[in-house]
Amino acid sequence: MSNSIKLAILGLGTVGTGVINLINDNLNELKRRSGRDIIITEVGTRRQRDDIDTNIMQNSDLMAIAASDNVDIVIEVIGGTTLAKDVIMQAIKNGKHVVTANKALLAEHGNEIFAFAEENNVHVAYEAAVAGGIPIIKVMREALAANKIDWLAGIINGTGNFIMTEMRDKGRPFADVLSEAQELGYAEADPTFDVEGIDAAHKLALLASIAFGIPLQFDKVYCEGITGITLQDVNYAEELGYRIKHLGFAVRRDSENDGDAGVELRVHPTLIPQDALLANVNGVKNAVLVNSHPLGQTLYCGDGAGAGATASAVMADVMDLVRVLGSKDRDDQSNTGHHVPHLAFIPEQLSDTPILRADQMVTGYYLRVHAYDSPGVLADITRILSDAGINIDAILQKPAHKVGQVPVIILTLPVVESQMNLAIEKIEKLETITDKVVRIRLDELA
C-alpha cells in the first residue's frame, strides 16, 4: 500500500488557496490523524503561478488533471456548472474520488453526478457546499442517521447574513457591505446569487434531500432574497420583539397538519423571535436548526464562508476519503461499501413526496399597510383578515410619516399562503389604502 495520497486542486481562488494554506499549516495533524502523507501533486490554474511549490505540477488543462494517474482525489473549486461538471464526470469516469464546494452544480446536476459516482464506485463529497465550515452534511447524514427529521431552518448564506447584520447594527448601506463581503472572499462570483437567495436555495435543496430522502429539486425551491428589506421593517420588527433573518426552511407537512401534505422548500427573509438562538447568529456565521425525532432540536453554528472555514470542510472530506482509500487498499473491496449514501438514504429508497407550491405553504406574516388616517380603516383591515380565517397576533399603529397617512403593522398566526394572497388583494382594494401591502413571513421556530 502506497503511503501517500495524491490530491489535485482545480481552481486557485479563495477556497483553493485556503486548502493549500491549510495543508501547509496542519500537515503534521493530517498525517497523525490519517497515517498517510497527503500531498498535492497537481493544481489546475489558468496562468502559471510562481507562489506554488515547484514539486506541484501546474496545468491549465483541467480535463487532463481529472484523468491523471498521478492523482487519487480531485478537489473541484473552480465554481460554475459547465466545466466543473465536465471535470467531475471525467474524474469519476477515471475512478477518482471528488471533493467539491460547488452547491450550484450539485443542486442542479447532483442527481446525475451522484448516480454516475455510484456506478463507478467512487464518492463525491460536498461538506463545503453547505454552510461552509459547519459539518452539517456529516451531522445530518451520520450523527442523525437514526432520526426522523421533521423540519430544519437555517441561515445558510454568509454574505447575506453579514450584510443584514452590518445594516442593522451600524446602519451601513447595502452596497458598501456587499463590496466588503466580496473583498473578504465570502461572496459568489456573481453576488446576485447571494443577495437574491439563489445560493441559499442551492444549499436548501441539498439539505432537504439528506433530511427527507428525496431527490434534489432545486427548481422547486421558493426563493426570495434580501434586496427588498428596508431599515423601516427591520426597526418595526425589533419594536415588536422580532428580528429579520434570511432563512431557508425545509418542512415535512403530514396530512394531519393544516394544509396539504408534502414538503415545503423555501428561502426568504423571516421575522423570528429576538431571543431565538438563530436571531443572534450574526456576521458571516451560519446556523442550522434541525428538529428531529426522537432527538428534538439541535443547532449547528459556525463560519459559513471564507477561505479558512471552507478549506476546513474540504479537507474534512479529504480525510474521510483517505480513510476509505486506506480500507480499500487493505481489504481490496469496492469503495462504495464504506460510504454513507450521497443523499443519506440508499438511492432506491428516495421518495417521491411532492414539493408544495408557494400558495400551499403555511407561515405567519408581518404585514405593513399604509392607510389614510381615517375612522374605521383599522376595522376594515381586521375584518378582511378575520373573514379569511386569519388570526391576528399583534397590531402596531405608527404615527403618520406622510401627512394623513399611517403605517399599520400586523402580525398574524400561520395561514395558508393562498388565503393570505386573497386577503391582501382585498385590503389593497380598500379606498383608504395608499400603497401595496408589504409582507414578510414570520416563524416562531417552535
Ligand X SMILES: N[C@@H](CCO)C(=O)O
Reported as type and span, the H/E element at residue 393 is strand 392-397
State the nearest-atom distance from the C-beta of 40 to ligand X, in Å. Answer: 22
Rounded Cα distance between 253 and 260, Å, is 7
Locate 79 and state its grid cell. Answer: 465554481
State the nearest-atom distance from the C-beta of 102 to ligand NAD, in Å. Answer: 4
| HSE-up (13 A, CA, CB side) for residue 372 | 8
- Helices within 279-407 (DSSP H only): 307-331, 377-387
Residue 159: which of ligand X, ligand NAD, Na ion, none does it interact with, CB under 5 to 8 A by kind? ligand X
Cβ-based nearer residue to ligand X, 42 or 188: 188
Q: Does residue 225 bind ligand X (CB under 6 A)?
A: no
Q: Which residue is nearest to ligand NAD (CB)?
A: 13
Q: Does residue 313 bind Na ion (CB under 5 A)?
A: yes
- Decide if 206 contacts 106 (C-beta within 8 A): yes
* Residues in CB range of 436: below 8 A, 6 or more apart: 428
Q: Site size for ligand X, by CB under 6 A?
A: 11
Alpha carbon 108 to its chain centroid, in Å, reads: 14
State the nearest-atom distance from the C-beta of 395 to ligand NAD, in Å. Answer: 41
* Residues in CB range of 192: below 8 A, 6 or more apart: 198
Locate 285 and state its grid cell. Answer: 456565521
The residues annotated with a catalytic role in the active site are 203
Among the listed residues 42, 108, 196, 199, the single contact to ligand X using CB under 6 A: 199
Q: Are strands 438-442 and 262-273 parallel, antiparallel or unpaired?
A: parallel
- Decide if 362 contacts 33 (C-beta within 8 A): no
Cβ-based nearer residue to ligand NAD, 311 or 406: 311
Residue 42: which of ligand X, Na ion, ligand NAD, none does it interact with, CB under 5 to 8 A by kind? none
* Residues in CB range of 77: below 8 A, 6 or more apart: 9, 10, 11, 13, 15, 16, 19, 100, 101, 102, 314
Residue 259: which of Na ion, ligand NAD, ligand X, none does it interact with, CB under 5 to 8 A by kind? none
Rounded Cα distance between 175 and 227, Å, is 10
Reported as type and span, the H/E element at residue 113 is helix 103-119
State the nearest-atom distance from the C-beta of 138 to Na ion, in Å. Answer: 8
Q: Does residue 157 bind ligand X (CB under 6 A)?
A: yes
Peptide bond into 273 cis (omega under 30): no
Indicate the DSSP class of residue 281.
-
Residue 229: which of ligand NAD, ligand X, Na ion, none does it interact with, CB under 5 to 8 A by kind? none
Q: Does residue 194 bind Na ion (CB under 5 A)?
A: no
Q: Which residues ranging from 354 to 413 are in contact with ligand X (CB under 6 A)?
A: none
Indicate the DSSP class of residue 180.
H
Reported as type and span, the H/E element at residue 16 is helix 14-34
Q: Which stretch binds Na ion (CB under 5 A): 160-168, 176-184, 309-317, 413-421?
A: 309-317
Residue 231: which of ligand NAD, Na ion, ligand X, none does it interact with, CB under 5 to 8 A by kind? none
Among the listed residues 166, 194, 196, 417, the single contact to ligand X using CB under 6 A: 194
- Decide if 63 contacts 86 (C-beta within 8 A): yes
State the nearest-atom distance from the C-beta of 44 to ligand X, in Å. Answer: 20
Among the listed residues 72, 118, 188, 417, the single contact to ligand X using CB under 6 A: 188
Residue 127: which of ligand NAD, ligand X, Na ion, none does it interact with, CB under 5 to 8 A by kind? Na ion
Give the residues lining the site for ligand NAD (CB under 6 A). Answer: 11-16, 44-46, 60, 62, 77-79, 83, 101-102, 128, 132, 185-186, 188-189, 305-306, 310
Locate 214 and state its grid cell. Answer: 428525496
Q: Does residue 208 bind Na ion (CB under 5 A)?
A: no
- Which residue type, as a one-letter code, is found at position 435? D
Among the listed residues 131, 309, 410, 440, the single contact to Na ion using CB under 5 A: 131
Residue 157: which of Na ion, ligand X, ligand NAD, none does it interact with, CB under 5 to 8 A by kind? ligand X
Binding site for Na ion (CB under 5 A): 127, 130-131, 134, 136, 313
Binding site for ligand X (CB under 6 A): 132, 157-159, 186-188, 194, 199, 304-305
